[in-house]
Chains A and B, each alone.
Chain A
Amino acid sequence: MLSSTMRFRSERDGYARYSPSVVIVALWVANLPGAIETARAEPESAHETTSTANHREFEELQGSFESGPQVTQACLECHTEAAKQVQDTVHWTWSFEHPDTGQQLGKRHVVNSFCSNVRANEPRCTSCHNGYGWDDASFDFADETLVDCLSCHDTTGTYTKAPKRAGRVLEEKVRVHGKTLKPPNLGHVARNVGAPSIETCGSCHFNGGGGDGSKHGDLDSSLLDAPYELSVHMSPEGAGMGCSDCHVTRGHDMAGGRYDMTARDQIGTGHPGHRRAAATCESCHGLQPHDGSFYIATTLNQHSDRVACQTCHIPKIARGGVSTKTFWDWSKAGRLDEGGRPIHEKNENGRTTYWSRWGEIRWDENYRPSYAWFDGDVRYTLPTDRIDPNEVVPINFFSGDHDDPDARIWPFKIMRGRQPYDAERQRLAMMHLFGDGGTAYWKNLEWKPAIEAAMEAADLPFSGKVGFVDTKMYWAVTHMVAPADQALSCKSCHSKSSVLSELGGFYMPARDAHGLIDLIGRLALAAVALAVLVHGGLRIRYHLGRRRR
C-alpha cells in the first residue's frame, strides 16, 4: 500500500500534464481509503527522511571498529554532550532518589521478586545496561567512553551485547536459549544509527525477569508488529507509534518510569510553551478524552478523575499471547532428580515451571489485573528495612484512596512468591545467583554462601540464618491499550460481582447498597403486595358470595 501511494504522489507531482481521468484511475488503483491510512502512519518513516544528517557519510564512522567504546568515542566527536546526558539518566545510573519519599531506589539498590538484586550478579544483569563493562561496584560511572550508544540507536537489528559479559559487545558466536547470536559489524551498525525503535527498547524491556514477557505482563515481543486488538497505539494498523512517542525524550532523559508515576495528570495536553515530555495518556488525549452524547461523555470524563485510563482500556494482562510470571517460589529451588541432576520442567507453552536453579514458577496470560488506589509514589521494602515474616511482605507499596486528589484506581499485575530473608535480622536478603565464584547459587545450589556473598557485596550485615518469606510486588499495567470497544463495560465495576469489589471507602452504584434500606424497602413492598392480595381476595370472595345470593 505504501509503495502504490507514494508512486501515485510522485506521478502527480512529476507528470502534471496527465489529464484528470488519469489521476482518477491512479486514485482508483492506489485505493484511496488505504492511501489515507498510510498517510496517518507516515511519521514512522519520517524519522529517516527528516534527519539532517546521514551518518553513512561521516568520516569518523568509516572503516571498522574494534570495540564498543571505540564507537562511542567516534559518536562523541560530534555529539559532545550525549554521554553526559545519558550519564544523568536512570538508564545509566540504575539509581533513583525518589523526590517525594526520599527513598534511594533504582535497580542498583532495590530487591525485586524476580532475580532479586543486581549487586553481586552484575555481569549477567548489566548485559542490559547501556554501558560497557559494569562488572562490579568498581565500574567507573563517569567514563564517557563506556556509554553504549548503539544499544538504543542501532537500526540494523544486528547489534548484540554478550548476554553474560557486563554489557560488552558480543565478540564470538554463542547459542543462548536455542538462539544463535552473532557478533555485530560495529562499523555497519555505527553508520546506520537512528532513533530508538520498539525492537531496541524491547531487546531489554521485553525480556526482564527471565525471558519474554516475564516481568511486566504488558511488555513482551507480541508488541513487535502488534495486531490492532493488542495495541491501538503500537500496531501498524493503529497509530503505528513507537515507545518514544509516549516516552518523550529531552536530552536523553525519558518521560515515564515506575518509581515516581503521574497517577493522575491534571495538566493534559497543555498549551504552547507547556511541557512536552510526559508519558501520560492525558498528555495526548487531554483531560476530556471521551466523546459521544453529552451525558455519556461527561460521565466517562468525570470517571477519569478517579479511574486511570488504563483501568478500563487495558482490560487484561498479557493480551498478546505471551505469558507472564505471576509467582516465583525460590524456596523450592535446589531439588535434584535421583541421579543428582538438576530438574527442568516446562508447561505446554514451553515456559519453565520448575528449575532447580529457580524454584517453582507460575505463568498466566490474558487475565484480569488487580486494582488499587494509587497516588503514583512507589515505596520499596529495602534490604535495610525490617520486615514481618508472618505477613506477606510487600516488595513495593504505595498509598492512595478515594479522597486523595492525586490518586486514581489503577490496574496492577501482582507478582507473588517466596524469597529468602535473614531469619534473625528480619531483613530481605540479596542473593548471589550468577557467576563463577564459589558462592553463586546457580553453581552450587547453596543458599547460605550465596546470600552471604551478595550481602557482603552490598555492604549489608547478614546473620547467616536463611528463611523464606511470602512476598508480593505491584507492577502498574499501562501498555497494550485495547480498542475502545474492548474496554471494561460499566457493569464490569457497577455490579454485585464488581472487579473493584476489594476497594472500599466510597459508594459505587450497583456494587454497594445500604443493607437496612434495602431490607425495609423490600419489606414495605412485600407488605403492600400482601395487603393487595388479601384485600383483593376478600373483595372477590364477598363479591361472588353476594352474586350467589
Chain B
Amino acid sequence: MKRRIRLFSRFERLWHWSQAFLIIGMLITGFELHGTYTLLGYRTAAEVHVACAVALMTVWVFAIFWHIITGEWRQYIPTTRKLNAIIYFYTRGIFRGDPHPFRPTRGRKHNPLQLLAYLVFNTVVSPTIWITGLLYLSIQLADSMIPIPLSVVAPIHVAAAYATATFLLAHVYMITTGRSVFQHLKAMITGFKTVEVDPEPVADALPERTLGTGR
C-alpha cells in the first residue's frame, strides 16, 4: 500500500536549503581563499565567505534550537539495526532493482547508514570547521587575543573543508538513489514523499508518538 506522507516540515526544508546554498558558497569562496583557483577575487571571496559564515551561524542557532525544542534531535540517535541490510542494498540490491529496505517515517527519516554519515558530519566535521573558522576570524580581526597561531588553525580548517566537500559530493550522489532519480530531491523541495506502508515497518526504531510534529 502506498501513502503520501509529509516528511520534512517547512522549517526543515528552509534550514536544509539555506544551509546547502551557504555551504556551497563557503566551499567555493573558501577554496579560492586557500589559493586553489581565482574566481571572485580575493577580497570579494573573503567578504562573501565571512558573510555566508555569519548567515550560516545564524541558521544553525535556529536549527539547534528547533531540534532541541521539537525533540527532532532524536532522529540522530545512531543505530546499527538493519545497517547490514542497507549496505547490502547499496552494494547489490540497487543494481537488481530491489526495493530499498528502509521505509522512512516521520519518526525515522534517515536510514541507519545515512544517519551515521549525518551524525559524523554534525558532530565532527561541522564543529571542527566552526571552531577553527571562529578562531581564524578572531585571529584576523583581533590578532593577539588568541594564543593559537594561524599555522595550526588554518590547516585544520582546510582539512574540515575537504571533508565537507567530500560529504557534499557523496550526499548529492546519494539523493539520486531513490526510487526515481529525483524522488529524494522532490521530497526535500515539497516536503512530501510517497512511501510503501508495510504492515511491519522495517526501521521504525522509535515509536512515532515520542517525537514532536516538527511542524
- Chain A residues near B (Cβ < 8 Å): 293, 295-296, 298-299, 302, 305-306, 489-491, 494-496, 506-507, 509-514, 517-518, 520-522, 524-525, 528-529, 531-532, 535-536, 538-539, 542-543, 546
Contacts and interface: CB of A to CB of B under 8 A. Distances in A.
Contact of A506 (B140, B151, B163): B151
Nearest to B169: A528
A518 B158 contact: yes
A313 B90 CA distance: 59
| Main DSSP-derived SS at the B contact region | helix
Nearest to A524: B166
| Interface size of B as a range | 35 or more
Nearest to A516: B155
B14 to A, nearest CB: 26
Contact of B35 (A298, A513, A535, A546): A513
Contacts of B169: 525, 528-529, 532
16 contacts: A489-B43, A495-B38, A506-B149, A506-B150, A506-B151, A507-B154, A509-B150, A514-B159, A517-B158, A517-B159, A524-B162, A535-B90, A536-B176, A539-B177, A546-B96, A546-B97
Nearest to A532: B173
Nearest to B35: A510
B179 to A, nearest CB: 12
A495 B36 CA distance: 9
A517 B157 CA distance: 10
Contacts of A296: 43, 47
Q: Which of B33, B35, B155 has the most CB of A within 10 A?
A: B35
Given A510-B33, A513-B34, A514-B155, A522 B42 contact: no
B24 to A, nearest CB: 15
Contacts, number: 107
Nearest to A538: B95
Contacts of A514: 154-155, 158-159
Contact of B141 (A299, A506, A522): A299
Contacts of B35: 494-496, 509-511, 513
Contacts of B113: none
Given A510-B35, A532-B173, 8 more contacts: A293-B47, A305-B143, A507-B150, A509-B34, A514-B159, A517-B155, A521-B165, A536-B176
Given A293-B47, A299-B46, A535 B173 contact: yes
Interface of B: 33-35, 38, 41-43, 46-47, 50-51, 90, 94-97, 140-143, 149-151, 154-155, 158-159, 161-163, 165-166, 169-170, 173, 176-177
A298 B165 contact: no
B166 A525 contact: yes
Given A494-B35, A509-B35, A298 B97 contact: no
Nearest to B51: A295
B141 A490 contact: no
A441 to B, nearest CB: 52
B47 A295 contact: yes
A532 B41 CA distance: 31
A522 B90 CA distance: 24
B142 A302 contact: yes
Contact of A509 (B149, B154, B162, B176): B154
A292 B97 CA distance: 59
Contacts of A522: 162
Contacts of B42: 489-491, 494-495, 510
A536 B174 CA distance: 10
Q: Which of A506, A518, A529, A536 has the most CB of B within 10 A?
A: A518
Q: Which of A506, A517, A532, A538 has the most CB of B within 10 A?
A: A517
B31 to A, nearest CB: 10
B42 to A, nearest CB: 4
A295 B47 CA distance: 7
Nearest to B172: A532
Given A494-B42, A529-B169, A542-B97, A524 B34 contact: no
Contacts of A506: 149-151
B158 A302 contact: no
A295 B52 CA distance: 13
Nearest to A405: B144
Given A491-B42, A509-B34, A542-B95, A521 B158 contact: yes
A524 B166 CA distance: 7
A43 to B, nearest CB: 35
A496 B38 CA distance: 11
A529 B173 CA distance: 9
B47 A491 contact: no
A346 B47 CA distance: 50
Contacts of A521: 158-159, 161-163, 165-166
A501 to B, nearest CB: 12
Nearest to B156: A517
A249 to B, nearest CB: 34
Contacts of B47: 293, 295-296
A58 B113 CA distance: 99
Contacts of A517: 155, 158-159, 162
A531 B150 CA distance: 34
Contact of A528 (B97, B158, B166): B166
Given A295-B47, A528-B169, A491 B38 contact: yes
Contacts of B151: 506-507, 512
Contact of A524 (B43, B51, B143, B163): B163
A536 B90 CA distance: 11
A522 B97 CA distance: 33
A182 B70 CA distance: 94
A315 to B, nearest CB: 16
Contact of B165 (A299, A525, A538, A542): A525
